[in-house]
Structure 1
Amino acid sequence: MKTRILLASLATATAMAFALPALAADSAQDFVDKAAAGGMFEVDSSKLAESKVQDKSVKDFARKMIDDHGTANAKLETIAGEQKLTVPKELDAKHKGDVDTLQNGKDPIDGPYVQMQRDAHADAVKLFESYAKDGDNVELKTFAQQTVPTLKMHQEMIEKIAATMGTQSSSSQTPKVTVGDKPEQAPPLPGANSFTEDQAKGRIQDAGFADVSKLTKDDQGIWRGQANKDGKNTTVALDYKGNVVAGTN
């Protein structure tokens, strides 16, 4: 009887010993899947942005994303290979949808690209910080720890760009004048708007508005709704370039 119990205990212990690496690999694989998808999105979306954005600071940012994330992607692939983990070769559905939005969006795509980068880097910083702290694979954990500072630098860069664009947008209340004194059309500008409702709401909030509601996209591609600023209710609009304008009809 005792022999049977001992054998059963040994069998259980052996099974647990083999199970633990599998659980660790699953967790490490999850990190690789998410990190690789995010990294591929950075490169693919930024390659599109290089040729489709207008603002020089946004174009320079896109070039940096291609370089920095391209390097990080290669390093992740090397580590994953050494750890016998699989690196996905295609984007997941969400990131593919975002790339398609940029691909099909009317030039320039500065606004949508910047907002996507803000969202992507917020997610990436959380993912890498979490794995850097609690990761179960030593090599990947070190990779995450080394990559976090770069991701945070990227996040600071894109937030500054977004703030500058927001300031420019909210101050664009009068038409600009070009050569020959022919006024340009004042925002909000009609055009194919690739902002989703959530992205439009976030963009408007970033421009200093609260309680954004009743957002609908009109036949000119302009998101229009209600918002509150400085304690006053107002109409608000967001065009395809990311311009936020209050007091529109």
Structure 2
Amino acid sequence: MKNNLRLASLSIATAISFALPALAAETAQDFVTKAAIGGMFEEQSSKVAQDKLQNQSLKDFAQKMISDHGAANAKLESIAGEQKLQVPSDLDASHKSDVDKLQSAAAPVDAPYADMQKAAHADAVTLFEGYAKDGDNAVLKSFAADTLPTLKMHQEMIDKVTASAPASDSTTPAATDTSNPAAPVPGANSFTEDQAKSAIAKAGYADVSALTKDDKGIWRGTASKDGKSTPIALDYQGNVVAGSN
């Protein structure tokens, strides 16, 4: 019976150890690596997205990420150098893929950028809280504790921006469904003419021509599909609507 209890306890302990947050840093080098990658991602993604954002509050948030994380990244690099620890020079594959998605996406990118920043800051707060409490390097523990309030403030900012943003700002432009909505939605449109043409083409149309943006922010023109020419419209959400002129 005692042996069975010991085995059961060991099994529970093993299960708990595997349930620990993936971002918990076990060593100083582990913390530096994860913190540096997280900070670089928040800065780089904000630089890439800034000119493609529509919501002004989100633009302001992106600028703050560039400023705050640029400074934090520089401080971490300096501390790591003093502690003889290695700082990664580039993002890992997963974070680089997210930055590439923002880079290649047509504007606006408000929704994917906001989602990425929410996830990144949730991870960062978990990492910094854990290391500030249980870290194995006194200098880095102090850095984590000092930086944590800023990360939490960023987290509150992005939550507030997305909570107060109109529905239009949280909709990812995805010009793939020509039946939704039934009519183009008016609103401030940040698509350029070339981006509008590209979005309409991705929705399955060819020979996109005569595009002009009306006073409601809707790109209108003509295009062909299945050999037939039709009026076409693209709204600021990325919805492509045929026969709407």
What TM-score does the superposition give when structure 1 sets the normalisation length? Answer: 0.59
In 1, Cα distance between equivalents of 2:111 and 2:79: 35
Structure 1 pair 130–220 and aligned structure 2 pair: CA distance change class (3 A): farther
Structure 1 pair 140–92 and aligned structure 2 pair: CA distance change class (3 A): same
**CA apart distance, 1:168:** 3.1
Q: Residue 106 of structure 2 aligns with which residue? A: 106
Q: Residue 79 of structure 2 aligns with which residue? A: 79
Q: Residue 89 of structure 1 aligns with which residue? A: 89
In 2, Cα distance between equivalents of 1:87 and 1:171: 35
Q: Residue 157 of structure 1 aligns with which residue? A: 157
Within the alignment, does 1:124 sit opposite 2:128 as a pair? no
Structure 1 pair 241–62 and aligned structure 2 pair: CA distance change class (3 A): farther
Q: Residue 184 of structure 2 aligns with which residue? A: 185
Aligned-pair identity in percent equals: 64
Within-5 A mapping of 1:133-148: 133-148=133-148
In 2, Cα distance between equivalents of 1:241 and 1:77: 40
Gaps of 5+ in 2: 1-24, 172-182, 192-201, 205-234, 240-245
In 2, Cα distance between equivalents of 1:57 and 1:171: 13
Would you say how many aligned residue pairs link Structure 1 and Structure 2? 161
In 2, Cα distance between equivalents of 1:42 and 1:170: 20
- In the alignment, residue 103 of structure 1 is paired with which amino acid? Q
- In the alignment, residue 68 of structure 2 is paired with which amino acid? D
Within the alignment, does 1:50 sit opposite 2:39 as a pair? no
SS in 2 for 1:84: coil
In 2, Cα distance between equivalents of 1:133 and 1:95: 26
SS in 2 for 1:106: coil
Per residue, is there more helix in 1 or in 2?
1
Gaps of 5+ in 1: 1-24, 173-183, 192-218, 222-238, 244-249
Structure 1 pair 170–85 and aligned structure 2 pair: CA distance change class (3 A): closer
**CA apart distance, 1:240:** 9.3
Q: Residue 168 of structure 1 aligns with which residue? A: 167
- In the alignment, residue 60 of structure 2 is paired with which amino acid? D
- In the alignment, residue 32 of structure 1 is paired with which amino acid? V
- In the alignment, residue 185 of structure 1 is paired with which amino acid? P
In 1, Cα distance between equivalents of 2:56 and 2:134: 39
Q: Residue 70 of structure 1 aligns with which residue? A: 70
SS in 2 for 1:54: coil
In 1, Cα distance between equivalents of 2:98 and 2:125: 19
- In the alignment, residue 28 of structure 2 is paired with which amino acid? A
Q: Residue 232 of structure 1 aligns with which residue? A: none
What TM-score does the superposition give when structure 2 sets the normalisation length? Answer: 0.60
| RMSD of aligned Cα (Å) | 3.0
Task: Give CA-to-partner distance per residue, 1:168-188, whole Å, 9 cap, x none.
Answer: 34999xxxxxxxxxxx8229x
- In the alignment, residue 38 of structure 2 is paired with which amino acid? G
In 1, Cα distance between equivalents of 2:83 and 2:154: 28
Task: Give CA-to-partner distance per residue, 1:182-207, whole Å, 9 cap, x none.
Answer: xx8229x9x9xxxxxxxxxxxxxxxx
- In the alignment, residue 154 of structure 1 is paired with which amino acid? H
C-alpha contact (below 8 Å) 1:111/1:241 kept by paired residues: no
C-alpha contact (below 8 Å) 2:162/2:170 kept by paired residues: no
- In the alignment, residue 38 of structure 1 is paired with which amino acid? G
In 1, Cα distance between equivalents of 2:145 and 2:238: 34
